[in-house]
Amino acid sequence: MVALGVLLTGLLAGLSMQSDGIDIFGDARFGGLLFSSGGGGVAIAVILAMVVRRRSILAALSIAAAVVIGGSALLFSSDSAEVVAGGVLLGCSAVQANRDRVRQALLMGSFLLGLLSAGAVEALHYPDVPRRYADYLTESDMGTPVVVPVLCVLVVLAVAWAARVEHQAESPATDRSVRPVAAILLVAIGGLLLNILFVYNVFQTSGGWYFGLLVFPVLFAAAALLPGRGGIMVLAGTAVLLTSTTTSGVGISVSAWVWTLGLVAVIAVSVAAGAALGLRWERPMVGVAVLAVVCSTALFEQPPLDNIHYVASLIVFPAAAAYLYVACTPADPTPATLGLAVPVAITVPMVVTYGWTAYTPLTSAIRSTSWPEMWLSTGGAFATVVLAGVGIGALNRYRTAR
């Protein structure tokens, strides 16, 4: 039952933390920006994973977070509340899965599925209206959210039942030294600052997105700060993050809910297959190599070769990401949480981004770049993924030998 609770909380955390409605310019205070950004939720998740150990407290926090997310979906719409509550769920479930490879595989797979399916779940709330008109709809025109509230109820039931039957009072303690705290602050605050810099430069110049490559020194510094093999999880998250920036979104007709659910099912199967292979064969470098290949397929923009890129984005990328994360286990709760949350903290859009339009996928405007820009952006992502693999190999070799 604990495994089921970890699976469901991971899925709900992924759906909640992948929020794109937060305006980083809505609050001029740095504290307000950090609290309302993805980095704030990540910081809460990792701190909980590092500090809280009692099962009763973990269960109470998870139930409260699920209630907040369900209330936000049904009664009041608050992206900040959902992100923070999602961080609470992620941190608590990471402690529940502490160094158990099967539970950690369930957490990582479900969290990835939540991130990749957030756009599809949102679209199911608008059954009859094209998604591009969603911002102009009244409350009566919007569909009643079903998926997230039902999932919240399941999380509450599973967590409450697991807390009742779980006999272990506390989880094993993990490192609470200064270095993990410094890594947490570096990823959370550094990710927020990079996001602000990125957005400002995109508005001002056509090449502002190149500032996104600054995530490389920030994340590698955080990986170096974590003691032992903890940095491996952050480097795995770095490889997943940079690969996600090269993947392709998909345009779907709003009325074709069957196709939407079908694509989610395909992604779920891919994630499950990757997680299962990661449990069977612990070869992180294989996952890095596959992610590097996925990056290179971004160069195939024109038909019919663009189909290679679509397949790599929808099927290969989810499987490779899940495989890499799971192959890096077992891991302590703190680095495991930080590594999973890297794509959320840096706030670079994750795939799959669904574009509901009657004409072309919404991502087509973003993809219309010149060949030199495409080669440079793809090459930067490819090189960073390869360097992340080199870092994983180095940490595995030298810190394991100590």
Where does residue 135 rank: exposed (0-12), middle (13-18), buried (19+ CB within 10 A)? exposed
Comparing CA positions, the residue from 318, 400, 316, 332 lying closest to residue 101 is 332
303: region left, alpha or beta (phi > 0 left; psi from -120 to 50 alpha):
beta
Residue 6 CA: distances (Å) to CA of 3, 63, 68, 151, 338: 5, 13, 18, 13, 17
Q: Which tokens is 229 given?
A: 């093999």
Residues of the chain with pLDDT below 50 are 21-32, 207-208, 252-255, 348-369
Q: What is the pLDDT of residue 179?
A: 82
Give CA angle at 308 (302, 313), nearest 5°.
Answer: 110
> Tens of pLDDT along 268-296?
999 999 999 999 998 999 999 999 999 99
Residue among 121, 110, 87 at smallest CA distance from 158: 110
CA distances 269 to 199, 263, 272, 347, Å, are 34, 10, 5, 25
Compute CA distances 316 → 178, 332, 352, 363, whole Å.
38, 27, 12, 19
* Exposure letters 57-76 (e unless 16+ CB within 10 A, then b): bbbebbbebbebbbbbbeee
